[in-house]
């Protein structure tokens, strides 16, 4: 089986490397079109055939898509894949535009639910597809949404973007002490949030950042009235050209919860930081399974909002804590629950370790993809 994967980036997106690596092990001949970047050599080392080309649809300069479409068709004619597998909205649009007259199976592996939450982008996705298109959801919410929109369930599979447990399993050796570095007492209840800062997009009706940083700051202010010995660490810097937004959030934190919020910027030692949090918080407004995977693998109590794929992993009262999205009061109540009952917090951590290892197993997730390949090929032959 020959499969051409389409990626818009060679910076990060390590989930794609994990998936393609496992697919190669399963006997798939994997080709990958993506721009040049630091991940390219890692793909090659994994046995992936790399083609340096950015297969993303350009919205602002649509005339450039004609040459891009021609380049993609030339690549498809050269390698003759059985399936073309796209991982982003932008690469999916180019795939569908370029290959519309090709009788070739195409898969949109949906990395997150954000575009489905807006009527315009949802309809662009649905209406640009033809009978040769299928979807792979990476959480149950996404899978159910496509089916609710009238897509035949046989064309909508489910395959999580798996994570290796070893990437976020870290044994503390006593040389790291984040609380001490921040000038906090050892008994401080330390929250941690790991996420880039995405500025609000007015055309999507957003008034706060996508990841919910401001909601957590407001929740901190509420909790501190009852439990003053609390602090929060924000790990991650501005995404793209959003330094102004990043600075505005820092100013907001100082106004709402002075002296309690610490901004560490972008860090490369996230696996070492996670075990030092008493509670990891992921208050996103829209998300797939997000950073919950990381904190659950790291053995840290995890609190999320009730959006997207979070419920696939976090079951309130069993594997973690779940609050209403965009609701600082709900976040605050769940933080207080975690503070007040340490034995219960530890029980949920143990349950979370079992759940994430089962759902996000990299080898199993790649097998889900492989099985879907076989499924759609069998349908085309019947």
What pLDDT, on a 0 to 100 scale, did the predictor assign at position 174?
Answer: 56
What pLDDT, on a 0 to 100 scale, did the predictor assign at position 179?
Answer: 92
Q: What is the pTM for the complete model shown?
A: 0.90
Q: Are 23 and 109 in contact (CB under 8 A)?
A: no
CB neighbourhood size of 325 (10 A): 20
Parallel/antiparallel/unpaired status of strands 189-194 and 156-158: unpaired
| Dist CA 256 CA 214 (whole Å) | 10
Q: Hey, which residues does 231 pair with through a beta bridge?
A: 190
Q: Are 149 and 113 in contact (CB under 8 A)?
A: no
What pLDDT, on a 0 to 100 scale, did the predictor assign at position 60?
Answer: 85
Q: What are the angstrom distances between the C-alpha of 47 and each of 25, 51, 55, 77?
A: 9, 13, 21, 21
Q: What are the angstrom distances between the C-alpha of 377 and each of 81, 96, 175?
A: 12, 18, 53
| Dist CA 92 CA 98 (whole Å) | 10
Q: Which long-range contacts (CB under 8 A, 24 or more apart) does 341-347 make?
A: 345/279, 345/301, 346/301
Q: Hey, which residues does 191 pair with through a beta bridge?
A: 232, 279
What pLDDT, on a 0 to 100 scale, did the predictor assign at position 20?
Answer: 96
| Dist CA 282 CA 83 (whole Å) | 35
What pLDDT, on a 0 to 100 scale, did the predictor assign at position 171?
Answer: 62
Q: Which of 296, 265, 279 is closest to 227 using CA atoms?
A: 279
| Dist CA 352 CA 296 (whole Å) | 6
Beta-strand (E) ranges in the chain?
2-6, 29-34, 49-52, 83-86, 105-110, 133-137, 156-158, 189-194, 230-235, 261-265, 279-282, 302-305, 321-323
Q: How far is CA 157 from the centre of its chain?
A: 18
Q: How many residues does the chain have?
A: 382
Helix (H, G, I), strand (E, B) or coil at 105: strand
- Sheet of 302-305, strands arranged across: 261-265, 230-235, 189-194, 279-282, 302-305, 321-323
pLDDT by position in tens, the chain (length 382): 999 999 998 887 788 999 999 999 999 999 999 999 999 999 999 999 999 999 999 988 888 899 999 999 999 999 999 999 999 999 999 999 999 999 999 999 999 898 999 899 999 999 999 999 999 999 999 999 999 999 999 999 999 998 888 777 766 555 578 999 999 999 999 999 999 999 988 777 788 999 999 999 999 999 999 999 999 999 999 988 899 999 999 999 999 999 999 999 998 888 889 999 999 999 999 999 988 999 999 999 999 999 999 999 999 999 999 999 999 999 999 999 999 999 999 999 999 999 999 999 999 999 999 999 999 998 766 5
The maximal CA–CA distance of the chain, rounded, in angstroms, is: 67
CB neighbourhood size of 264 (10 A): 18
| Dist CA 203 CA 200 (whole Å) | 9
Which regions of the chain carry the CATH code 3.40.50.2000? 2-162+361-381, 165-359
| Dist CA 19 CA 107 (whole Å) | 15
Q: Which CATH number fits domain 2-162+361-381: 3.30.70.270, 3.40.50.10810, 3.40.50.720, 3.40.50.2000?
A: 3.40.50.2000
What pLDDT, on a 0 to 100 scale, did the predictor assign at position 98?
Answer: 96
Q: Which CATH number fits domain 165-359: 3.90.180.10, 3.40.50.2000, 3.40.640.10, 3.20.20.70?
A: 3.40.50.2000
Q: To which residue do tokens 């390219």 refer?
A: 40
């Amino acid at each position: 089986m020959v499969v051409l994967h389409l990626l818009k980036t060679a910076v990060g997106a390590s989930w794609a490397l994990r998936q393609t690596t496992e697919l190669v092990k399963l006997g798939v001949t994997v080709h990958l079109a993506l721009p040049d970047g630091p991940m390219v050599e890692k793909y090659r080392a994994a046995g992936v055939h790399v083609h340096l080309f950015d297969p993303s649809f350009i919205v602002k300069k649509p005339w450039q898509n004609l040459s891009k479409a021609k380049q993609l068709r030339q690549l498809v004619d050269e390698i003759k894949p059985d399936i073309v597998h796209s991982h982003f909205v932008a690469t999916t649009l180019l795939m569908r535009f370029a290959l519309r007259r090709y009788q070739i199976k195409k898969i949109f592996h949906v990395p997150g639910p954000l575009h489905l939450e807006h009527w315009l982008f949802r309809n662009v996705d649905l209406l640009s597809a033809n009978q040769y298109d299928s979807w792979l959801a990476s959480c149950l919410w996404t899978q159910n949404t496509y089916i609710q929109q009238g897509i035949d369930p046989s064309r909508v599979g489910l395959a999580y973007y798996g994570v290796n447990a070893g990437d976020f399993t870290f044994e503390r050796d006593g040389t790291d002490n984040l609380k001490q570095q921040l000038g906090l007492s050892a008994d401080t209840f330390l929250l941690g949030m790991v996420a880039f800062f995405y500025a609000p997009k007015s055309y999507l009706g957003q008034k706060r950042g996508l990841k919910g940083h401001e909601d957590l700051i407001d929740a901190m202010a509420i909790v501190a009235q009852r439990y003053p010995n609390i602090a929060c660490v924000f790990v991650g810097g501005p995404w793209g050209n959003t330094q102004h937004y990043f600075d505005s959030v820092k100013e907001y934190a100082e106004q709402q919860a002075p002296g309690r919020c610490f901004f560490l910027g972008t860090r490369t030692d996230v696996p070492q930081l996670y075990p030092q949090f008493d509670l990891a918080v992921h208050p996103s407004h829209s998300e797939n399974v997000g950073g919950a995977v990381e904190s659950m693998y790291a053995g840290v109590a995890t609190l999320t909002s009730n959006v997207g794929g979070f419920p696939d992993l976090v079951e309130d009262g069993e594997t973690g804590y779940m609050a209403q999205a965009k609701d600082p009061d709900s976040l605050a109540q769940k933080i207080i629950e975690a503070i007040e009952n340490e034995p219960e917090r530890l029980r949920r951590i143990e349950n979370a370790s079992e759940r994430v290892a089962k759902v996000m197993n990299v080898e199993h997730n790649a097998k889900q993809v492989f099985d879907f390949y076989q499924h759609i090929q069998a349908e085309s032959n019947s």
